[in-house]
Amino acid sequence: MHRRTWTVLATTLVALVVLLAGGTAALAGGRVGDTVGGGGGSLARNLAGAVDRLRPAPAVPPAPPVPEVLTSTPGGPGPVAPRGPVRTGVSTGTLDGVALTADSGDGPVTVPGTLSPDGRTWTAAEPLEFATTYRWSGT
């Protein structure tokens, strides 16, 4: 075959693929009826839709994560004043299953406390004991 024959064949094949894609886009979009009667330019719209479908979709950047901040009073490691207020809270989200426990000779002892109505703050209902290690748990 001649070079010119290959060029004509390749051009015809590309045109056929574009027309087929445009027709498929028209069928999928329910716009087949637009090609008959008034409206004009329906073939151009279908071809434009086919070309748009061949372009890669732009990447959507992920939403930045919302930082969750857990605070507690008293805070930090080391000795604390056990008669001071004891509470923990979150800046976003809600607390669930909060428990403050201490080990004793009779087994674990749970400190009673209340969760705020919005679920963001838990406060101990009684002061802590001296010379006792407490463990916080919850989600």
**DSSP codes of every residue in the chain:** --HHHHHHHHHHHHHHHHHHHHHHHHHHTT-GGGGSSTT--HHHHHHHHHHHHHSPPPPPPPPPPPPP-EEEES-SSS---TTS--EEEESSS---S-EEEEEETTEEEEEPEEE-TTSSEEEESSPPPTT--EEEE--
For residue 135, what pLDDT band results from cuts at 50, 70 and 90? Answer: confident
pLDDT value of position 112: 92
Residue 43 has a pLDDT of 61
- Residue bearing the bigger pLDDT, 33 or 45: 45
Compute the average pLDDT of residues 101-112: 85
Res. 67: pLDDT tops 80: no
Residue range 121-138: mean pLDDT, rounded: 85
What is the rounded average pLDDT for all residues in the chain? 75
Name the residue with higher pLDDT: 51 or 101.
Answer: 101
